[in-house]
Amino acid sequence: MARSLGGLEAAAEWPAVRARLPDMTGLRVVDLGCGFGWFARWAREAGASAVLGLDVSEKMLARARADTHDPAIAYRLDDLETFGLTAGGFDLAYSSLAFHYVAGFERLARIVHAALTPGGRLVFSQEHPIFTAPEKPGWIDGPAGRRAWRLNDYGREGGRTTNWLAPGVVKQHRTLGTILNTLIRSGFAIRHVEDWRPSPEQAAAAPALGADEFDRPTFLIVEAQR
């Protein structure tokens, strides 16, 4: 994946996610699903005082550790289904495209809320529910040459087995209402919800991406505050 190998700038939605982040100066940050550590290193360059990155992949953490030379960044092998965090230990929780793999989102939301200081923020992206809903996601030809996204099963929440990155990976489909209500029930105030679309500049530079993302969103971006 270009996004894993190329760093934050290789992810088209990164500028929109970055726009939701607070001033990073002095923040204690946790990155839920840190992968190769791109965000952890960016956060430190942007002024964070400490970053903890969690990931379920030992392989990705090994590379993250090899690429990181900063005693204020720590990585920990952990599973977002079962993890724990120090209560009040963080000012910002960040996550990129990880939450749609987590079945226990209610538990995750409670733990992240407790881990934040009052006023602390959770900023995350995940696959959009329109994208995770269909058992067989894809396009279908429509009338008058207008292709359409083949949407069904939006109201049927639960696991979807895909063979995309690896065979048998299970994604968890939740409606947008369920995602937001889970955060609200956990005590978060919703600050921003974004069905991500490319900027005009991005759409001009990558017309196929622009066409896809204006027909149906791939990414959901949420900013919530304790």
> Site mask, its own copies, residues 80-119, x = CB under 8 A?
----------------------------------------
Residues 124-153 that bind its own copies (CB under 8 A): 129-130, 134-136, 140, 142-143, 146-153
Burial of 72 (0-12, 13-18, 19+ CB in 10 A): middle
Separation of alpha carbons 17 and 11, rounded Å: 10
- Give the binding-site size for its own copies (rule: CB under 8 A): 38
Q: CB-wise, 78 or 194, nearer to its own copies?
A: 194
Q: Is 205 in the site for its own copies (CB under 8 A)?
A: no
Stretch that binds its own copies, among 51-59, 74-82, 112-120, 191-199 (CB under 8 A): 191-199
Residue with tokens 């090994």: 62
What secondary structure letter does DSSP report for 88?
Answer: T
Q: Decide if residue 187 touches its own copies (CB under 8 A).
A: no
CB atoms within 10 A of CB 5: 9
Instruction: For its own copies, give the closer residue by CB, 56 or 203.
Output: 203
Q: Please say whether the beta carbons of 13 and 196 come within 8 A.
A: yes
Window 153 to 172, contacts with its own copies (CB under 8 A): 153-156
**CB-nearer residue toward its own copies: 62 or 211:** 211
Q: Which stretch in 27-35, 47-55, 110-118, 213-221 sits in contact with its own copies by CB under 8 A?
A: 213-221
Burial (CB count <10 Å: 0-12, 13-18, 19+), residue 152 = exposed
Which element (helix H / strand E) includes 191?
A: strand 189-195
Quick one: CA dihedral 100, 101, 103, 108, positive or negative?
A: negative
Binding residues (CB under 8 A) for its own copies: these are: 129-130, 134-136, 140, 142-143, 146-156, 175-177, 180-181, 184, 189-195, 197, 213-217
